[in-house]
Amino acid sequence: MGETITIALPQVAVADSTIESPAGRIIIPGQHLPEKRMDIDVAVVQQLLSTARAAAANAHAPYSNFHVGAALIMADDPEQRIITGANVENSSYGATICGERSALTTASSLGFRALRYLALSTADSLTSPLCDRSPCGICRQSIREFISRSSNAREALILVDTAEPGTLCEAFDIDRLLPYGFNFAPPV
Ligand code: THU
């Protein structure tokens, strides 16, 4: 165990608004998230980021030449092992799987369901803007699937690798990464 620090994901308070139109009210949903504090082990985070960066070397990306690596730890894994993934492209393009989902499907296939940390690295474009280094929409929804919604809701962190000097990573929880993510409540 390394040094533990507490990070605070700031409160988000963007009011809802409404606009009247001749055909009825248009609602502009805001954002309402309380501050969230989480304890993180810095050495674990650092190791996940370097493992994600190394995992990108295994990407099968002959079409895009864009290499993505992921490394995660599941909260419900008693061994707290690091599970890796990389993007695997396909000549059909549509059958491509992203690095994040590649790691998540491995974790899920091993029987784990609750994400604790997911680090990802766009290894050879680490100086790009955050939007070019952070998970795509499908991956955000897939990550959400494996974040426990029972107690201590959304206790997982998504860590984005960067080459910014003096910076370890960018960190999100799923509510900040995927506002209004889809939630299917099966009929009872
Ligand atoms: N890719 C990922 O692996 N993760 C993402 O979140 C976005 C995109 C991959 C898919 C494809 O192999 C390449 O990056 C270019 O889109």
Q: What is the pLDDT of residues 77-127, one digit of tens each?
A: 999 999 999 999 999 999 999 999 999 999 999 999 999 999 999 999 999
Q: What is the pLDDT of residue 132?
A: 97
Amino acid at position 142, single letter: S
φ and ψ at residue 99, rounded to 5 degrees: -60, -40
Query: Does the CB atom of residue 58 touch ligand 1 within 6 A?
Result: no
- Strands in 35-141 per DSSP E: 36-41, 69-74, 83-86, 115-121
Domain annotation covers residue 20: no
β-strand partners of 171: 159
Measure CA of the first residue to CA of the last residue in the chain; give whole Å.
43
Domain annotation covers residue 2: no
Domain annotation covers residue 52: yes
Q: Which residues contact 117 (CB under 8 A, 6 or more apart)?
A: 40, 44, 45, 48, 72, 73, 156, 157, 159
Domain annotation covers residue 55: yes
Q: Which of 35, 79, 89, 100 is catalytic?
A: 100
Q: What is the pLDDT of residue 23?
A: 98
Which range marks the domain in which residue 62 is found? 39-177
Total tally of structural domains belonging to the chain: 1
Q: How confident is the model at residue 187 (pLDDT cuts 50, 70, 90)?
A: confident
Domain annotation covers residue 183: no
Domain annotation covers residue 63: yes
Q: How confident is the model at residue 76 (pLDDT cuts 50, 70, 90)?
A: very high
Domain annotation covers residue 16: no
CA distances from 175 to 40, 108, 180 (A): 18, 21, 8
Amino acid at position 13, single letter: A
- Cβ-based neighbour number of residue 98 at 10 Å: 22
156-175 pLDDT, tens digit per residue, is 999 999 999 999 999 999 99
- Collapse the DSSP code of 57 into the 3-class scheme (helix H, G, I; strand E, B; otherwise coil) and give the result: helix
Domain annotation covers residue 26: no
Ligand 1 atom closest to 99 (CA): 3
Give the residue, out of 136, 142, 143, 160, with the most ligand 1 atoms within 8 A of its beta carbon, to mutate for a pocket test: 136
Q: What is the pLDDT of residue 151?
A: 52
Q: What is the CATH number of the domain that holds 75?
A: 3.40.140.10
